[in-house]
Each structure stands twice: as structure tokens, then as C-alpha cells.
Amino acid sequence: MKKQWDEQAILDNIRAGKQSGATYVFNQYGGKLLQFFKWKFKLSHEDAEEALQETFIRFIKSVCQKKFHGNASIYTYLSKIGVNECLRIIQKNTAYRDILIDGMKIEEIIDHSKDLEKELHYRLCVAKALEAFEKQNANECLTILTLQFEGWSIRKVADKIGRNEGATKTFLSECRKKLRLYLLKCRDESN
């Protein structure tokens, strides 16, 4: 039977010296972190993997040494460590010296690391919110939202899901309303 993980169960599992909790966190957030590291910090695949590895090592050590108590969510902590690891790699590697992040040079971006942390945190929070949304709502909702983000016209989406345009518009609006409820938490956390 597949184990249902909540954040406390994950922390307890890691503190007991076991691997499955950390594996779950890695599978849930690893890919998203790697994608963010490559996209935002323009890291090479190897450097992004190194940043990911160091992020998880620091995260697990903090959990085991009880530096991380679980008063913030796991992805908040991962965002903080992840951004710091990326900045460390950029600073030590001369190849990244001239890279601009959000139009800023590395010397300037260090002072704005909090913004990067917030951005990554928001990205991970949305991922978690979408997961919860998917569990509670019909998969069709997520499908048409995806199609709309991909730039499909209402007509094309309507044809795809076998509804007329008016019904599709209403359905899309309902889906967005429902989704907004799930994203409220992320808004609150980022403010």
C-alpha cells in the first residue's frame, strides 16, 4: 500500500535515519527545483544537478540536526537553500560572471536573493496547490486549463472536450474559480 505522507511524517522519517521520506520529497520537488535552477540562474545541467544535490544534503542535515523544526513548509525551506546553493555555484564559477538574472548582475542579485526565494517558493507552492486541486476535482478541469495556457482557442478547446463554446467558457470560468481557492494559500504565504 502506498504510504500517505504529510510533512510531519516526512520529518520523522528523515530524523529516524530512513530514506523513504527524503525520496518522496526529492520526487515531488526535485524536478521542479532543477527546472527553476536551469531557467532562472541559467545553470548548465551538471551545475543544476550539483545545486540540487547540495540543496537536499543541506535540507536533510538541517532536519536531522533539528535546525528545521517544521514551522514553515518543506518547500519554503527548500526554496531558501536552493537559491543560496545556486548563488554559491554562480559565485565560484567564473563562467557565470557575466550572466544577468532578472536583468541584474550577480553582485546585485545577491542583495535580492529574498525575491528569488519568494519566486521559487511560489512556484513550488503552486505545484502543491495544483496537486491538491487535481485530487479533489475532475481531471478535465486541469486539462482545459493546460490547453488554454498552451494558447488553444475556446473553439478548439470546446471541440476537444466535446462541448459547445458557451458551455466551455462557463466550465473554464468555474475551473479558474475553484483553482483560485487553492492558490489563495500561496498568495498569503508570499505576502
Partner 1 sequence: MNQEDKETQALRAELEYRLQPIELNPQILQNVFKKTDLKPDWYVDFFNLWQKLILPVQRFSWQFLEWIWTRRVGMSFATSVLMVVVLIKLLIPYITYEPVPRVKSPPLILPELVVSNPQETAQTLKADLAKLGIVATVKTFDKGWMIEIVNLSTDNLDALSALLTEYKLKLPPPGESGLRILVVPGN
| Crossing angle (nearest 10°) for helices 7-15 and 74-92 | 60
Phi, psi of 67 (to 5 degrees): -75, -30
Pairwise CA distance, residues 71 & 73, whole Å: 7
Write a three-state SS string for 131-191. Answer: HHHHHHCCHHHHHHHHHHHCCCCHHHHHHHHCCCHHHHHHHHHHHHHHHHHHHHHHHHHHC
The residue from 10, 11, 13, 43 that contacts partner 1 (CB under 8 A) is 13
* Contact code string over 98-137 relative to partner 1, x by CB under 8 A: ---------------------x--xx-xxx--x-------
The residue from 66, 67, 88, 187 that contacts partner 1 (CB under 8 A) is 187
The residue from 5, 12, 24, 26 that contacts partner 1 (CB under 8 A) is 26
How many residues sit in the footprint of partner 1 (CB under 8 A)?
A: 41
Binding residues (CB under 8 A) for partner 1: these are 13-14, 16-20, 22-23, 26-27, 30-32, 34-36, 39, 49, 52-53, 56-57, 60-61, 64, 119, 122-123, 125-127, 130, 142, 145-146, 149, 183, 186-187, 190
